[in-house]
């Protein structure tokens, strides 16, 4: 069974730009969650989608948004990028309440 895939793997953007990251979950998994990982803050929850509906949201500003499609694939968007948005963005999928499996992540660098 293929694992969670994320594209792109690496991204360099300039302050003020916007970015869209993509996540394809494991086949059959309907829950997709997004996390931001930085050396200072560790792993922080962004949001969770289940069956195209946002089920939970973390404490991030409105510049961070996401969506899920009918095939469970998910995208997250960050608008008006700031230097502090530089991080590893991880996507995780699960069969609802079961264990979550992480993708390889997208390393975003904002200059």
Partner 1 sequence: EDKVVQSPLSLVVHEGDTVTLNCSYEVTNFRSLLWYKQEKKAPTFLFMLTSSGIEKKSGRLSSILDKKELFSILNITATQTGDSAVYLCAVTETSGSRLTFGEGTQLTVNP
The residue ranges that bind partner 1 (CB under 8 A) are 31, 33, 35, 42-45, 48, 50, 55-56, 58, 90, 92, 94, 96-105
In this structure, which long-range contacts are made by residues 49-52, counting pairs with CB atoms below 8 Å and at least 24 apart in sequence?
Answer: 49/74, 50/96
Dihedral sign (CA 29, 31, 36, 37): negative
CA distance 36 to 27: 23
CB of 14 to partner 1, least distance (A): 26
Structural element, H or E, at residue 15? none
Q: How far apart are CA 81 and CA 48, in angstroms?
A: 21
User: Among residues 82 and 96, whose Cβ is nearest to partner 1?
Assistant: 96
Provide the minimum distance between the beta carbon of 100 and partner 1 in the complex, in angstroms, as a whole number: 6
**At closest approach, how far in Å is the CB of 2 from partner 1?**
15
Q: Which is nearer to partner 1, 83 or 98 (CB)?
A: 98
Query: Smaller CB distance to partner 1: residue 16 or 96?
Result: 96
């Amino acid at each position: 069974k293929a694992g969670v895939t994320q594209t792109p793997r690496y991204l360099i953007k300039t302050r003020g730009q916007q970015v869209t990251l993509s996540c394809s979950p494991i086949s059959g998994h309907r829950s997709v969650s997004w996390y931001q990982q930085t050396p200072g803050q560790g792993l922080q929850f962004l949001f969770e989608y289940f069956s195209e509906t946002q089920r939970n949201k973390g404490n991030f500003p409105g510049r961070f948004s996401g969506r899920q499609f009918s095939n469970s694939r998910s995208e997250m968007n960050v608008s008006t990028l700031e230097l502090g948005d530089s991080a590893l963005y991880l996507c995780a999928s699960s069969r609802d309440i079961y264990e979550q499996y992480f993708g390889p992540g997208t390393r975003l660098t904002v200059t």
